[in-house]
Amino acid sequence: MTTVREVEMTGENLLLAFVIKWQGDWSDDKVPNRRRWLENNGISLTDDELAAALARARERFFERPAEVFVCRSGPCRERAPITPPEDVCAYTRTECQGPCKHAPVATVRVGDRCEVFAEMRSGEDWRAVLDFGRRAVAAGTLLVDPGAAQAFRYDPVHDGERISAALRPAEFLVGVFRGNGEYADRAATFQKEVLSGWEAGGRFISMRMSATYPLDDGRRDVHHVLVVLGADSVSDALSARAYTDGGFVFEYHVEPEGDALIFADRVPGHVEGCSVERSATRARKRLRPTPYGYEETIEIADDEGPFRPYSSVAMRRVAQAR
């Protein structure tokens, strides 16, 4: 294959996408939904016309010994800038192949077997998948080394809880963690506990946090926070919303920094009279994966001064993700 094959919005191309979704083999109870989809797109067919069109679409699906089908409809098209490159291998653009939650989607067919790939987030991701497609087509088998495409394999039967690709950089935060924190400028300590897990089929991470700060008078200042971390459905930008035990809600924009995550935070305020804290007007938090869990550090700064260490806590994993 040497070119990219375009498709137009026609009944047969909509049915081709249906055939691709079911990999050439579907049950009769799936057809009524496809008929309604056609009608929603202004295409009305009699039973005989629909049966004939489905037969032609299936014939088109198996027209070549092997082929790569790239969905360019709906969410798959909207998630720019991830247009698949055309210099790796040729492919056919199709209408919606089905698993829109995991857009973008591509199907590689060799003979009567198919491999589905999902959530390619960059040109490099697409190159990995299309390179697999090129090698599979050339070899006449899907049993070629997937290489970097392995990370994008999608099993439509068993991957119902597949995590969001955009949240992979935050996967180290999932689990049950405990840690003892230290300050950079004094001998006091504090304790922190985090219980976090995947939510909504792997599309978000919820984090229930409890932090205990011993006070000079012997009391303990305990803070409880619920944080929900997710990604924008188009840009993949990470953001979090924190709900505090004081009834406040705070928004955070989270940025990758190597293998860590960093975001602007509120200036700490739980220890009264600390000189380094009283002069600070800005703060940022960094979460970095470690072999035992992750490390959380807070840095503070004046209006125009450089950031300086404030506190750190080694969060050790005590249980796996729920």
Structure tokens at 53: 């069109």
Q: How far is CA 31 from CA 34, 123, 170, in A?
A: 5, 35, 40
- Cα separation, 39 vs 319, in Å, equals 51
258 phi-psi bin (left φ>0, alpha ψ -120 to 50, beta other): left
Structure tokens at 1: 């294959």
Q: Which amino acid makes up residue 2?
A: T
Residue 143, burial from CB neighbour count under 10 angstroms (0-12, 13-18, 19+): exposed
For residue 89, the tally of other CB atoms under 10 A from its CB is 23
Q: What is the pLDDT along the chain (322 residues), one digit of tens a residue?
A: 445 555 455 677 889 999 999 999 988 888 888 888 888 878 888 889 888 999 999 999 999 999 999 998 888 888 755 568 878 888 999 998 988 888 899 999 999 999 999 988 888 889 999 999 999 999 999 998 888 888 888 887 766 556 777 888 999 999 999 999 999 988 889 999 999 988 876 789 999 999 998 887 778 889 999 999 999 877 889 999 999 999 999 999 999 999 999 999 998 875 444 444 457 889 999 999 999 999 999 999 988 788 999 999 999 999 765 4
- Token duo for residue 282: 């800005």
The three-state secondary structure class of 2 is coil
Residue 79 to residue 77: CA distance in whole angstroms = 6
Is residue 268 within 8 A of residue 284, CB to CB? The reply is: no
Strand partners, 88: none
| Of 233, 232, 230, 236, nearest in space to 202 by CA | 230
Strand partners for 317? 177
- Domains contained in the chain, CATH given: 11-160 (no CATH), 167-319 (2.40.128.20)
Q: ∠ CA(90), CA(94), CA(97), 5° rounding? A: 120
Of 148, 126, 41, the C-alpha closest to 79 is 126
Task: Classify residue 123 as exposed, middle or buried by CB count within 10 Å of its CB (0-12, 13-18, 19+).
Answer: middle
The letter for the amino acid at 196 is: S
pLDDT of residue 158: 63
pLDDT given for residue 200 in this prediction? 79
Position 2 scores a pLDDT of 44
CA distance 105 to 98: 9
pLDDT of residue 240: 97
Chain-centre distance for alpha carbon 229: 11
